[in-house]
């Protein structure tokens, strides 16, 4: 039968050890074992079913999410799951919910910005879920501009309290997930005011709802901000609005790792940089980069399997049509996304290491790598989420008409994913942060301060401004050193050109605004270089398993040459490569697609996704697409009755009217 046979035959063609590739994708044998076990546990639990999600009303959808979250928590306790296993379980439940913010932002904020004492007081309550917290930073009038927040936290020396207040409509907290209906507590960001003096934005732990009856505490107005894009999707989350009317909290509920307010109302700064107040965002941006590879690989898995099952045109001698995956156009759209999923996986792994490293240094009062960590998390968050959002939509198109059906899993995946381009920092705003970092790095060249970390290549500025690409034949593009040099030269030249243009302005801030579109492009070039170089570094590690390394090399080259092809204007206009070399890169890319083609299904099998996680009829492991699509259609509530509700009121009168007109 079509589908079954197609995927079985594809799997038999694989030229590498899929089980070993699963280990590489997971990160380690241990992680693979955990994720495999937990994903099956979730898939086999009827409470975690997802198939009716797009058909539920908002209220039913939300209640069902609460049910799942409670059940997940019960299972975590019953099975005594470790922190790692519990996080995997929440991941595979695959439904945005207040738990994400509680574990993903509220707890990390207390850990990162609270003193030892504050951590000892609040963390046990949060870990046991005796309180549920969210992260209330954004306001109706201010999201990107954190320093523009209007909420005030005024110290009252009489009572040793802060008075939290929303002075204007635009100061209403707006967007925090988990706030609308669930959280009992929040970390609220507001302006610290002591003795009428404004000391800027700080975090405060504020109780919002009673722990007895869940009613808002006096002075607090709270609710959900309403339906969001798509059906199902992010509507399982209670993004909320919150207003304070002179709400009092004890002084020790200001998070005081960065600065402390004494009983006398004196502000004392610690020796840590004030930017640690932004620390949770760095943590979550890093996490978002890792998650981008999950969302993209999921869409790619669906589109790849379906492309092997779907046949159109080109009758072969045996009377069957051509698998659409064999069309070069399909390959040239699909395989770069497959390669990007792997690329984002590895850069995510590296970023996790960078984040851990920066944290260890912070514990030892070494703050030197913080700017680099900020630039990398901001830039890579922007790059990977934009590419993933676009990639999911491309996968929908790659699945033709059926991709538009909710049962393909792609519309909901797209709807749930796209806010990642906005939350945790709008992607353009974040690239502008990277651009500032690059301009600063360029301006310090020659000052004796050597660039470090991901900007170390900028130390070779003279060589990179002059070098000529050595490619003479298509295969030369397979050399990592050739690819790296082209990407480094492009990024270097774009940053230097931006810095030179900026230097022409008397007022640097005005210049920065004027040149911001170019600066963003320079930031993108730098971030793409990071992704390419981390993929190449990954390949330098010991990679066991028959054929595994070869496949990864092909994917790495596809990623790099695809980006080169997409941004050809940059590479040509900066003189990094010639038009002839560009056309050789294109020829090499075509040849790489042919190399990956027989392995495509095995490469997506290596993600080890259950059908439950994919939640897609088109992406089923067994390829049994058509019977299941047919079956799925009949489950739609519209098909509960043969004659629809409303027939007598609305259809019949029209038909009768037509009949009369026809007689006239």
Ligand X SMILES: CCCCCCCCCCCCC/C=C/C(=O)SCCNC(=O)CCNC(=O)[C@H](O)C(C)(C)COP(=O)(O)OP(=O)(O)OC[C@H]1O[C@@H](n2cnc3c(N)ncnc32)[C@H](O)[C@@H]1OP(=O)(O)O
Task: Give the residue carrying structure tokens 């004494």.
Answer: 262
105 binds ligand X (CB under 6 A): yes
* Binds ligand FAD by CB under 6 A, chosen from 109, 113, 137, 491: 137
Q: Which of ligand X, ligand FAD, none interacts with 232 (beta carbon under 5 to 8 A by kind)?
A: none
Size of the site for ligand FAD (CB under 6 A): 20
Sign of CA dihedral 453, 454, 459, 463: positive
The pairing of strands 152-156 and 185-194 is parallel
Is residue 144 a contact residue for ligand X (CB under 6 A)?
A: yes
Q: What's the half-sphere exposure (Cβ side, CA atoms, 13 Å) at 349?
A: 15
* Segment interacting with ligand FAD (CB under 6 A) among 129-137, 366-374, 445-453, 462-470: 129-137
Is 382 near ligand X (CB under 6 A)? no
Nearest CA to 325 out of 337, 336, 335 is that of 335
627: nearest Cα among 298, 403, 309, 322: 309
Of ligand X, ligand FAD, none, which one does residue 411 interact with (CB within 5 to 8 Å by kind)? none
Does the footprint of ligand FAD cover residue 423 (CB under 6 A)? Answer: yes
**Residue 645: CB minimum distance to ligand X, A:** 36
Cβ of residue 340: shortest distance to ligand FAD, in angstroms? 23
CA dihedral 122, 128, 129, 133 (to 10 degrees): 30
Q: What are 535's two structure tokens?
A: 């993929």
CA-CA distance, 567 to 336, in Å (whole number)? 14
567 SS3 class: coil
Residue 144 makes contact with ligand FAD by CB under 6 A: yes
Nearest distance, CB of residue 142 and ligand FAD, angstroms = 6
DSSP 243: E
Query: Which of 2, 272, 429, 484: binder of ligand X (CB under 6 A)?
Result: 429
Q: What gap in Å lies between CA 625 and CA 385, rounded to an integer?
A: 29
In Å, the largest CA–CA distance within the chain is: 94
- Residue 2 and residue 531 in contact, taking contact as beta carbons nearer than 8 Å: no
Alpha-carbon span 387 to 384, nearest angstrom? 5
> Which DSSP letter does residue 645 get?
T
The span from the CA of 579 to the CA of 568, in Å, is 9
In three-state secondary structure terms, 131 is coil
284 binds, among ligand FAD, ligand X, none (CB under 5 to 8 A by kind): ligand X
Report phi then psi at 185, rounded to 5.
-135, 165
User: Please, which of residues 241-300 interact with ligand X by CB under 6 A?
Assistant: 275, 278, 281-282, 284, 287, 291
Q: With binding defined as CB under 6 A, does residue 88 bind ligand X?
A: no
Q: Which does 428 bind (CB under 5 to 8 A by kind): ligand X, ligand FAD, none?
A: ligand FAD
Residue closer to ligand FAD, measured from CB, 26 or 140: 140
Residue nearest ligand FAD, Cβ-based: 143
- Indicate which of ligand X, ligand FAD, none lies near residue 3 (CB less than 5 to 8 Å, by partner kind): none
- Stretch near ligand FAD under the rule CB under 6 A, chosen from 362-370, 425-433, 439-447, 536-544: 425-433
What's the sign of the alpha-carbon dihedral 325, 327, 329, 332? positive
Among 3, 76, 96, 111, binds ligand X (CB under 6 A): 96
Length, in residues, of the chain: 664
The residues near 426 (Cβ < 8 Å, ≥ 6 apart) are: 143, 144
State the nearest-atom distance from the C-beta of 488 to ligand X, in Å: 23
Residue 628 tokens, joined: 């299941």
Q: Which does 281 bind (CB under 5 to 8 A by kind): ligand X, ligand FAD, none?
A: ligand X
- Binding-site string for ligand FAD from residue 253 to residue 292, where x marks contact by CB under 6 A and - marks none: ----------------------------------------
Cα 110 to Cα 123: distance, rounded to the nearest angstrom: 7
* Min dist. Cβ of residue 193 to ligand X (A): 18
Cβ distance 204 to 153 under 8 Å?
yes
CB contact at 8 A, 259 and 270:
yes
Q: List CB contacts of 278: < 8 A, sequence separation 6 or more.
A: 146, 374
β 185-194/133-136 pair status = parallel
Q: 239 vs 293, which CB is nearer to ligand FAD?
A: 239
Q: Which does 239 bind (CB under 5 to 8 A by kind): ligand X, ligand FAD, none?
A: ligand FAD
Contact partner, 287, from ligand X, ligand FAD, none, Cβ < 5-8 Å per class: ligand X
Give min distance, CB of 189 to ligand FAD, in A: 7
Stretch that binds ligand X, among 3-11, 139-147, 349-357, 582-590 (CB under 6 A): 139-147
Is residue 424 at the binding interface for ligand X, with CB under 6 A as the rule?
A: yes
Two structure tokens written together for 215: 């009613």
**593 belongs to the binding site for ligand FAD (CB under 6 A):** no
In the bound state, the residue with its beta carbon closest to ligand X is 104
Q: Is 537 a catalytic residue?
A: no
Catalytically annotated residue among 139, 150, 394, 424: 424
Which residue's CB is nearer to ligand X, number 322 or number 444?
A: 444
Min dist CB 12 to ligand FAD, Å, is 43
Task: Return d(Cα 412, Cα 391) in angstroms, integer.
Answer: 14
Between 225 and 461, CB nearer to ligand FAD: 225
Distances (CA, A) of 6 to 307, 323, 575, 601, 621: 10, 9, 46, 10, 11
What single-letter DSSP state applies at residue 159?
T
Stretch that binds ligand X, among 63-71, 100-108, 295-303, 504-512 (CB under 6 A): 100-108
374 binds, among ligand FAD, ligand X, none (CB under 5 to 8 A by kind): ligand X
Paired sense of beta strands 161-165 and 197-207, if any: unpaired
The whole-angstrom separation of Cα 188 and Cα 183 is 12
477 interface partner picked from ligand X, ligand FAD, none, CB below 5 to 8 A per type: none
Which residues are known catalytic residues?
A: 424
Q: Contact residues for ligand X (CB under 6 A)?
A: 96, 100, 104-105, 135, 137-138, 144-147, 177, 275, 278, 281-282, 284, 287, 291, 370-371, 374, 423-425, 429, 433, 436
Q: Contact residues for ligand FAD (CB under 6 A)?
A: 101, 135-138, 143-144, 175-177, 234, 239, 419, 422-423, 425-426, 428-429, 432
């Amino acid at each position: 039968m079509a589908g079954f046979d197609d995927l079985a035959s594809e799997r038999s063609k694989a030229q590498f050890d899929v089980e070993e590739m699963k280990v590489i994708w997971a990160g380690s044998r241990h992680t693979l074992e955990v994720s495999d076990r937990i994903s099956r546990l979730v898939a086999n639990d009827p409470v975690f079913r997802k198939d009716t999600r797009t058909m539920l009303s908002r209220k039913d959808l939300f209640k069902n999410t609460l049910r799942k979250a409670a059940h997940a928590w019960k299972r975590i306790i019953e099975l005594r799951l470790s922190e790692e296993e519990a996080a995997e379980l929440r991941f595979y439940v695959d439904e945005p919910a207040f738990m994400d913010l509680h574990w993903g932002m509220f707890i990390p904020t207390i850990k990162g910005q609270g003193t030892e004492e504050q951590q000892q007081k609040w963390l046990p309550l949060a870990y046991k879920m005796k309180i549920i917290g969210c992260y209330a930073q954004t306001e109706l009038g201010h999201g990107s501009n954190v320093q523009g927040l209007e909420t005030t936290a005024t110290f009252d020396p009489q009572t040793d309290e802060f008075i939290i207040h929303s002075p204007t409509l635009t100061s209403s907290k707006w967007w925090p997930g988990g706030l609308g209906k669930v959280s009992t507590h929040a970390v609220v960001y507001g302006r610290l005011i002591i003795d009428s003096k404004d000391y800027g934005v700080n975090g405060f732990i504020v109780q919002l709802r009673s722990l007895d009856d869940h009613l808002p505490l006096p002075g607090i107005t709270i609710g959900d901000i309403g339906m969001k894009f798509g059906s199902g999707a992010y509507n399982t989350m209670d993004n909320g609005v919150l207003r304070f009317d002179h709400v009092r909290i004890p002084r020790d509920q200001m998070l005081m790792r960065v600065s402390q307010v004494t009983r006398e109302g004196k502000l004392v700064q610690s020796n840590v940089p004030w930017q640690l107040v932004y620390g949770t965002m760095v943590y979550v941006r890093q996490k978002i980069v890792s998650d981008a590879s999950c969302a993209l690989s999921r869409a790619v898995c669906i589109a790849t399997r379906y492309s092997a099952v779907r046949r159109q045109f080109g009758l072969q001698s045996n009377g069957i049509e051509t698998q659409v995956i064999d069309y070069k156009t399909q390959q040239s759209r699909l395989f770069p996304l497959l390669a990007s999923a792997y690329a984002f996986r590895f850069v995510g792994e590296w970023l996790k290491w960078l984040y851990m490293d920066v944290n260890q240094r912070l514990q030892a009062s070494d703050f030197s790598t913080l700017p680099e960590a900020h630039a990398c998390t901001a830039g890579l968050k922007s790059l990977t989420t934009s590419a993933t959002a676009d990639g999911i939509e491309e996968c929908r198109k790659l699945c033709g008409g059926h991709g538009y059906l909710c049962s393909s899993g792609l519309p909901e995946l797209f709807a749930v994913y796209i806010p990642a381009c906005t939350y945790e920092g709008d992607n353009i705003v974040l690239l502008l942060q990277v651009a500032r970092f690059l301009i600063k790095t360029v301006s310090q060249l020659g000052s004796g301060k050597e660039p470090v970390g991901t900007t170390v290549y900028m130390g070779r500025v003279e060589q990179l401004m002059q070098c000529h690409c050595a490619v003479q034949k298509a295969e030369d593009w397979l050399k990592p050193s050739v690819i790296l040099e082209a990407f480094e030269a492009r990024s270097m030249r774009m940053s230097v050109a931006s810095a030179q243009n900026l230097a022409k302005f008397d007022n640097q801030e005005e210049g920065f605004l004027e040149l911001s579109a170019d600066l963003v492009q320079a930031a993108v070039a730098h971030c793409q270089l990071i992704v390419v170089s981390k993929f190449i570094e990954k390949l330098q590690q010991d990679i066991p398993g028959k054929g595994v390394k070869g496949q990864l090399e092909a994917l790495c080259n596809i990623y790099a040459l695809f980006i080169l092809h997409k941004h050809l204007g940059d590479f040509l206009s900066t003189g990094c490569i010639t038009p002839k070399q560009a056309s050789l890169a294109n020829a090499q890319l075509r040849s790489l697609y042919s190399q990956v083609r027989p392995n495509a299904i095995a490469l997506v099998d290596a993600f080890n996704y259950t059908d439950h996680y994919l939640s897609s009829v088109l992406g089923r492991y067994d390829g049994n697409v058509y019977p299941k699509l047919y079956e799925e259609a009949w489950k739609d509530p519209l098909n509960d009755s043969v004659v629809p509700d409303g027939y007598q009121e609305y259809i019949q009168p029209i038909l009768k009217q037509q009949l009369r007109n026809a007689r006239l």
